Structure 1
Amino acid sequence: MDIPAAATRQVLFLNWRDTRNPHGGGSEVYVEKIAAELIRRGHTATLLCAAHSEGPAEETAPSGLRVLRRGGRHTVYLQAAWLYLIGALGFGPLSRRRGARPDVIVDVGNGLPFLSPLWAFCPVIALVHHVHREQWPVVLTPRLARIGWWIESWLAPRVYRRCRYVTVSAATRDELAVLGVDAERVTIIHNGTPEMAPAEPVARTAEPSLVVVGRLVPHKRVEMALDTVAALTDELPELTLTVAGQGWWEDELREYAVKLGIAERVRFAGFVSDEEKRVLMSRAWVALTPSLKEGWGLTIVEASAVGTPNIAFRGAGGVEESLVDGRTGMLAEDQADFTAKTRRLLCDDVLRAGMGSAARAHAASFTWPAAGEKFAALVMRPVMVPAPSPGPRTHLVP
């Protein structure tokens, strides 16, 4: 099925969260930045996501993105299908008379996809930031984890077998290949780097300092940053850590800091605005990303943009592209190596400054206009594949 031959497109993004959602993260930033770039090029974009207390049922963002919030964490998937189908009959917020009948759907699979090819009459682009094989056992019971992984690794590749994919890193493209998604159907469109310079000049802290930015959930493994602080306190008695972000795992992290005896060294900043994030990253000596898996690692390039090198883990997905090991930061093998590399960067002023400068230059090479241009080209051409792919090569149990 081809999209209509027109100068612009109506694009419907399906993502269970938006950036105003308390659980929103880098995936949501990507969607809304790409949508803004499409709008800037004359397209129309709507985001359908789950309802929450931080935003109204419907609003238009300053970028021109129309945001519809319907259903909850799980029912949003049914709401998406329902609204699309009644829109075909001329009713609801996705109807033609509302000027919002989609030409293209961008179906964002955060573990659980919307399975829109089963009910949509227009082309679908599957947007996958990373494969969640490692995360399922961390956030769900063993039985539910197996179900989630079956949907992601077996069902989804079959449902989207005629669709083109977009992902944010070569690492995720390679993971999708293991699930049977042909590489020629996957377009890599990196994240851009937002403007990160604070409104006013910001000096580094006088004493060694670390920062972690992200959602406070188990698979982000903030505990490993806390362990690192605990291990370095004797050598670096003034060392501090700021944890910026919110999530349901915060109470456990606070208790763990108390258990380690470092509660007075750790500040939980909660949700921070973009300006506050810029300041925190600008003041820190080193940024830490202990996450189990990232599709790209947006916070890595955000820290890089203000000259703050980062330490992450090898094998954690797209971080091996957003961070250039040995040049803009370091990739660790395990907890001991993570701590050792943190110590090295904190104690070597020359190395840290050099990596900070290289990190800033690396971050500048990724821009949202460039990402938007690639995405716009994708939605402007036929996006349905003429023949199905063979399907997953293997079914892996998490």
Structure 2
Amino acid sequence: MTTNVAGTRVAFVNWRDPWHPAAGGAERYAWGHARRLAARGARVTFVTSRAPGQRRRERVEDVEFVRLGGRFTVYPLVLLWTLTHRRSFDAVIDCQNGIPFFTPWALPRRVPVFCVVHHVHDAQFGLYLPGWLAGLGRFLEGPVSRVTYRRHAFVVVSPSTLKAVRGRLGWQGAVHLVPNGTPAPTVPPAARPAGGPRLVCVTRLVPHKRPGRLLDLAERLAERRPGVRLDIVGTGPEAAALAAETAGRGLGDVVTLHGHVSEDAKSALVARADLHLSTSQGEGWGLSVIEAAALGVPTIAYDVDGLRDAVLDGATGWLVDADDDPVAGLVETAERALKELADPARRREIAAACRSWAGGFDWSRTSDRMAALIVEAVRTEPAVRRPRSRSSRRRSLKTMER
């Protein structure tokens, strides 16, 4: 049954919108929910930062966009905007990208807030920020968030994130698992081009994704498997360094850096690949893994948070032991995977398992889950939403039936 959200006033607060140059999976998640709630009749506002050239206000698919500030100034500006519009919403989806927006500080107590956590950033702050600022980020993500959202609830996207918010953030309040939705493939499965193996990686080129390991893999496989090709799709601050290293290693004939491409072009590159790769040190989920699976393409990834949830080891891909020699383990796993895929029957079996697994994460189901949480919270008295007993919390942590 579809939950009725018609007329419900919902604000999504997210660091970026899906058209921001640095947008990623978190933006696709927020937009996926926002546009579907609006299609059901909810009055949705998406409050976010503003990239150069973007409009301050616009309406897209019945969602009202409000863009304020840049990378860091968006936080105080959104909080001020929320304060001035504090009685304009029935519920708020406060999306954490390292730190949340702390919207409960500016809202009436009656307004329920769902703090969406894709993954815990404590280990990543040090990769991007100086020591003192990284420490501040961990303080805001942990102790300050626990106090701020104590009357509200967290929404997580995977079992790994659920475990992390309990263990690493010390969150004892309500948690709801609402996984990413996956759109239907935009291109049909493609015939693999003749020649050597074809590998693909769809990723943002940022430090914690460790794109340099892709070059290590390509270099070693090229020695063993002439004709191997690796397509890297995505952009980010590491793009220039990766291009220089590709040229410096003489991998120009092996590795192609595509940068940002359209959704159709991305799907076409993935569909023709034998294997999809992820070298990230950890994810909230691994959206690109599921999108590849929807096209029948298995993934090799490290056995780390999020990716161990998205990849069914031995069925829809292969996991690399993160504690072993990271590059050697990646190469050995790729060799094993390619040998299995050389058997046509085994390839068909894996492709079918991939499509079946991805099919369990359709957007209609995950959107209805979010809508149900919002409606229940809006109808519930604030006192009832206080942290519940341990047995009650356990019941709320059950995953959505697939």
The offset of 1:49, in angstroms, is: 0.7
The offset of 1:170, in angstroms, is: 1.0
Q: Which residue of 1 aligns with 2:51?
A: 52
For 2:6 and 2:267, locate their aligned partners in 1 and report how far apart those are by CA, in whole Å: 38
- Give the structure-2-normalised TM-score: 0.88
SS at 1:380 equivalent? helix
Q: Which runs of 5+ in 1 are unaligned?
A: 89-95, 391-398
The offset of 1:354, in angstroms, is: 2.6
Please give the per-residue CA displacement for 1:166-202, whole angstroms capped at 9, x wherever unaligned: 11001101111112222x611101111112141x663
- Residues 309, 352 of structure 1: 8 Å contact kept: no
- Residues 193, 367 of structure 1: 8 Å contact kept: yes
One-letter code of the match for 1:113? P
The offset of 1:382, in angstroms, is: 2.2
- Residues 21, 54 of structure 1: 8 Å contact kept: no
The offset of 1:386, in angstroms, is: 4.3
Aligned pairs for 1:85-164 (under 5 A) are 85-88=83-86, 101-121=88-108, 122-164=111-153
Q: Which residue of 1 aligns with 2:261?
A: 272
- Residues 152, 386 of structure 2: 8 Å contact kept: no
The offset of 1:256, in angstroms, is: 2.2
Aligned pairs for 1:1-398 (under 5 A) are 8-53=7-52, 55-61=54-60, 63-88=61-86, 101-121=88-108, 122-178=111-167, 179-182=169-172, 185-198=174-187, 202-206=190-194, 207-315=196-304, 317-333=305-321, 334-348=326-340, 349-350=342-343, 351-382=346-377, 384=382, 386-387=385-386
For 2:144 and 2:331, locate their aligned partners in 1 and report how far apart those are by CA, in whole Å: 40
For 1:142 and 1:253, locate their aligned partners in 2 and report how far apart those are by CA, in whole Å: 26
In structure 2, do the counterparts of structure 1 residues 302 and 201 end up closer, same or farther at CA, with 3 Å as the change threshold? Answer: closer
The offset of 1:7, in angstroms, is: 5.4
The offset of 1:57, in angstroms, is: 1.4
- Residues 16, 23 of structure 2: 8 Å contact kept: yes
The higher relative CO (CA closer than 8 Å, separation ≥ 6) is in 1
- Matched residue pairs, number? 371
SS at 1:238 equivalent? coil
For 1:201 and 1:330, locate their aligned partners in 2 and report how far apart those are by CA, in whole Å: 21
Deviates more, 1:200-209 or 1:168-177: 200-209
SS at 2:223 equivalent? coil
Structure 1 stretches of 4+ with a deviation exceeding 4 A read 383-386
For 2:5 and 2:100, locate their aligned partners in 1 and report how far apart those are by CA, in whole Å: 28
For 1:83 and 1:45, locate their aligned partners in 2 and report how far apart those are by CA, in whole Å: 15
Identity %: 35
- Residues 57, 68 of structure 1: 8 Å contact kept: yes
What CA RMSD, in Å, does the superposition of the two structures yield over aligned residues?
Answer: 2.0
- Residues 162, 389 of structure 1: 8 Å contact kept: no
- Residues 152, 385 of structure 2: 8 Å contact kept: no
The offset of 1:235, in angstroms, is: 0.9
SS at 1:263 equivalent? coil
